[in-house]
């Protein structure tokens, strides 16, 4: 998080990270929640709700720029999340998957925190999706959503093997809620989970002044994985790039031969999980 004087300056910083990660032949890059928040200072003097809605003016251009980067750098980009005004006039917190073949999809944040409602006026989305990519099926849960175990379980039931969690937290307490729940999702669903948040500060911006983050990639807990179920983690509070190799064959092996098999062991004779709303766009 830092102040930018223009949208072009902001895009240059985004492209720096895409370029850097692509140099290591990465398949997916994950950005933090509210990725374009550093531009909100350009609306200094506006109340937080109006400023967040005005920030949504950048959404279409930012999504297109990141689609272009995905093509140019041959990498799948998860944009973190960006405010978007829906056709119904409500403000949504939306993550875009920009594939390296030029196609794109989106996942709305479903659960809105009390502060996000009070200060920014966000509305929760309605669809939970799983996306096809050239490296396998992935899911996206934005920050608070990872604290609801039903969502990741529904995604795994649709074939997800990698869960990506962009988040924004201002305190270590908030961060640990996201981290601990992400670790639980990895173990109980036998999948990989990557989390990415922002660090730094934005002076003179109400409700978004400070950030606390530590990016990490979590694994299931079994003999084929790290003993602490952490594939990698960054230094807390430091802007950095975290690059991690994941072997999806280990997930397949775990689900059929693991010491414990959470998915296989579910007592469906006693309980079940159903999605009430249909997913029109998910795979």
Catalytic residue among 109, 129, 137, 161: 109
Catalytic residue among 33, 108, 116, 190: 33
- Is 33 among the residues known to form the active site? yes
Residue in 240, 225, 245, 175 with CA at minimum distance from that of residue 33: 175
Catalytic residue among 108, 129, 143, 191: 143
Token representation of residue 125: 């989305």
Residue in 103, 53, 111, 102 with CA at minimum distance from that of residue 82: 53
Q: Which residue has the tokens 């073949």?
A: 101
DSSP 114-142: HHIIIII-B--------EEETTEEEEE--
Residue in 157, 101, 148 with CA at minimum distance from that of residue 129: 157
Question: In whole angstroms, what is the distance from residue 86 CA to residue 108 CA?
Answer: 11
- Is 191 among the residues known to form the active site? no
Kind and range of the H or E run holding 164: strand 162-166
- Is 109 among the residues known to form the active site? yes
Q: Give the active site residues.
A: 33, 109, 143
């Amino acid at each position: 998080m830092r102040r930018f004087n223009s949208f072009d300056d902001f895009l240059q910083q985004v492209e720096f990270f895409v370029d850097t990660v692509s140099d290591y032949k990465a398949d997916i890059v994950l950005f933090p929640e509210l990725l374009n928040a550093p531009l909100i200072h350009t609306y200094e003097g506006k109340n937080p709700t109006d400023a967040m809605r005005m920030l949504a003016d950048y959404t279409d251009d930012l999504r297109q720029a990141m689609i272009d980067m995905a093509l140019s750098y041959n990498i799948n980009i998860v944009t973190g999340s960006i405010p978007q005004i829906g056709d119904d006039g409500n403000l949504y917190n939306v993550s875009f998957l920009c594939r390296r073949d030029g196609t794109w999809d989106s996942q709305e944040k479903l659960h809105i925190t009390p502060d996000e409602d009070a200060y920014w006026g966000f509305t929760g989305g309605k669809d939970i999706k799983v996306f096809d990519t050239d490296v396998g099926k992935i899911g996206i849960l934005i920050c608070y959503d990872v604290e609801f175990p039903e969502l990741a379980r529904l995604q795994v039931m649709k074939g997800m093997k990698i869960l990506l969690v962009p988040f924004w937290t201002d305190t270590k307490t908030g961060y640990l809620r996201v981290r601990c729940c992400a670790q639980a999702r990895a173990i109980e669903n036998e999948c990989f989970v990557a989390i990415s948040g922002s660090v730094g500060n934005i002076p003179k911006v109400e409700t978004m002044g400070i950030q606390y983050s530590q990016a990490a990639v979590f694994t299931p807990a079994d003999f084929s994985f790290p003993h602490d179920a952490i594939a990698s983690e960054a230094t807390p509070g430091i802007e950095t790039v975290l690059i991690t190799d994941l072997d999806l064959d280990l997930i397949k092996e775990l689900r059929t031969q693991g010491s414990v098999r959470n998915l296989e062991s579910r007592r469906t004779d006693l309980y079940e999980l159903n999605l009430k709303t249909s997913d029109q766009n998910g795979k």
